Amino acid sequence: MRATGSIQNIMETTLDTIKGSIDANTIIGDPIKTDTTVVVPISKVTIGFGIGGGEYSKGYKEEISKDKNDTNFAGGSAGAVSIQPVAFVVVEDGETRLMSLDNNINMIDNILTITPKVIEKLQKLSQNNKQS
């Protein structure tokens, strides 16, 4: 067995397994509905894996294994998948907000929440100045 084909088979099997376990619903979860509120979980997915292998001769001496097909292959793969919730999108009473488990994102959400109100006030001030 040739090592190149074997490594490729291990890689394909590993990647197919990872692909089968992760999809868009893993990152953006199914909505959770109540009478007045909808909550959508958002997660971060981290994937890591390693693959390796090599050929070794069946014989102990080089003279014995002159045939290129007279080799064995040893290889393996390992991997890990981590799914960590990072935020929830909450729709309640017609308002949408982001509830983050990370304080930095909460600051961004606050800025995004306040921005339309600030723009509205600036527009009103501008209209009042034009009328004056």
Residues 118 and 66 in one domain: no
Residues 114 and 83 in one domain: no
Percentage of residues of the chain with pLDDT beyond 90 = 6
Read off the pLDDT of residues 14-56 as tens digits, 9 standing for 90 and up. 778 877 777 777 788 889 998 889 999 988 888 888 888 877 7
Q: DSSP label at 100?
A: E
Mean pLDDT, all residues of the chain: 77
Residues 41 and 88 in one domain: yes
Residues 39 and 65 in one domain: yes
Residues 19 and 30 in one domain: yes
Residues 21 and 76 in one domain: yes
Residues 128 and 66 in one domain: no
Residues 31 and 59 in one domain: yes
Residues 83 and 106 in one domain: no
Q: How many domains does the chain have?
A: 2
- Is residue 56 within 8 A of residue 79, CB to CB? The reply is no
Residues 90 and 129 in one domain: no
Two structure tokens written together for 11: 């890689």
CA pair distance 117, 114, nearest whole angstrom: 5
pTM: 0.51
User: Which residue range is the domain that position 118 belongs to?
Assistant: 102-132
Q: Which of 54, 49, 43, 45 is closest to 16 using CA atoms?
A: 49
